[in-house]
A and B are shown apart, each in its own frame.
Chain A
Amino acid sequence: MVPLGQVVQLEKIEPLQGYKLRIVQEVVLALLAKQASHGYQLQARLALALGPLGGALNAGHIYVTLGRLEKADLVRARRVDQAGRPDRKVYELTAAGRERVHEWLSDTSWPKPAPAEFHLKLVAAAAAGLADPVRLIDKQRGELLVGLREAQRAALAEPAGSVAGLLLEGVVLRLQADLRWLEECARYWNAAKG
């Protein structure tokens, strides 16, 4: 049992194939906060929230995650008899798990924004005369638009009121913001060329 108040470093656990395990761990913990659940119930919740993006997240991920959380004393499992079917485990939060959920909910850190690297790439390319910044911007814009095309199609395919649609809308809006910033870059570097 981990003493109350001790910060458990989940980030150090190996990432699960493809997915950032950290997110899955935190979400699984939070979903258990109200009531104990079976693994398959947790997986169904996540699948609904992720919609077309949930494809790579299978039940196996959830069970591996639960196993690790159990080992870290953040959840505990109880066996439940099921008539005529194999026993299933029901998972519930420990006090340390509950503490961890509160930390996660109050954590305001945000994924790192992208502009610095590309900005410095343009500055360096122009300074060294290595490449035309405007060309680099055009190429980058093409990349982002291919992404936007795909995200937008997926968003349009979601039925009205879908919770996964909200996630896709987030992808679309971030790409739009990046594309608008690229327009500003193009304006600047085009003027700089004279």
Chain B
Amino acid sequence: MTVESETSVLSAQGLCKEYGKGAALVRAVQAVTLEVERGELVAVVGPSGCGKSTLLHLLGGLERPTAGSVRLGGSALERMPEAQQARIRRRDLGFVFQAFHLVDELTALENVELPALLAGASPRGARARASELLAQVGLADRASHLPSALSGGQQQRVAIARALANEPLLVLADEPTGNLDSSATTELLRLFEQLHARGQTVVVVTHDERIAATADRLISMRDGAFVDETKLAGGTARPLSAMAGLEA
């Protein structure tokens, strides 16, 4: 048993998720234990179908585990009634998805203010916060655009601003660059580095090496289980000039 540390934002113990029965039984997630410290950026990588998206859903309470527990900021998600879980999800978690999942009928600004309004913020407060967040992701001049009038990269930046609306304890991101071209990915990397520098705790599931490289800690997942963990923060690389071919 891992002892939960004081600075731990997320603590998952022995998480399992199974689908189907008998011969058709699929063990999507097997005995996963994970502690995420405040301010940490953790990347989970692995081939398609390794269970990393399912894991993210379990961590965010979007699916219930077959076994095991998830504690977010010290509260055990599985012991709560559904309504309370939904409240925690809205207040303490921010989600970023591969396909953005913006509301098509709402402007960028309205999309970003929505979570704050749902959590009970005043309309004026929610709007002020949303404007500030859109400015932070470099889209102040796109506030009144509908998602259909934005590029993929811009939509994802709106989605990140939305995820931050309630100053969540934890942001969960599922393949955030999966639908983006290389220059939009670069913009998103910049944003991830900024989030990280500001101390936002993030768990990201990805097979984009560039996103994985922004992490403090990298976890490799295969067949539903964690198979390797690498600390990237504080690691020493070959000198950049050697990587560039300037040194023999």
Interface of A toward B, CB cutoff 8 Å: 15, 18-20, 23, 50, 52-53, 55-57, 111, 134-135, 138, 141-143, 145-154, 156, 167-168, 170-172, 174-176, 179-180, 183, 186-187, 190
Contact = CB atoms under 8 A, between A and B. Distances in A.
Interface stretch (B66-74, B172-180, B214-222): B214-222
Interface stretch (B85-93, B102-110, B159-167, B229-237): B229-237
Contacts of B220: 138, 141
Give the interface size class of chain B.
Answer: 20 to 34
B235 to A, nearest CB: 4
Given A138-B220, A138-B228, A152-B214, A145 B209 contact: yes
Contact of A190 (B190, B210, B222, B244): B222
A147 B238 contact: yes
Give the 10 A-B residue pairs with the shortest CB-CB distance, closest first: A142-B230, A146-B235, A147-B237, A148-B213, A138-B228, A149-B213, A179-B209, A146-B237, A53-B241, A150-B237
A152 B213 contact: yes
B194 to A, nearest CB: 10
A185 B228 CA distance: 16
Interface string B194-220: 000000000000010110111000101
A111 B245 contact: yes
B246 A23 contact: yes
Contact of A50 (B207, B218, B235, B246): B246
B3 interface: no
User: Chain B interface secondary structure, helix, strand, loop or mixed?
Assistant: mixed
Contacts of B227: 134, 138
Interface string B21-59: 000000000000000000000000001000000000000
Contacts, number: 96
B209 A20 contact: no
A167 B247 CA distance: 14
22 contacts: A19-B246, A20-B245, A20-B248, A55-B241, A57-B246, A134-B227, A142-B218, A142-B228, A143-B237, A145-B230, A146-B232, A147-B243, A151-B237, A151-B240, A152-B189, A154-B240, A156-B186, A156-B193, A168-B244, A172-B210, A183-B207, A186-B47
A180 B207 CA distance: 9
Nearest to B238: A147
A168 B245 CA distance: 11
Contact of A156 (B189, B230, B245): B189
Nearest to A56: B241
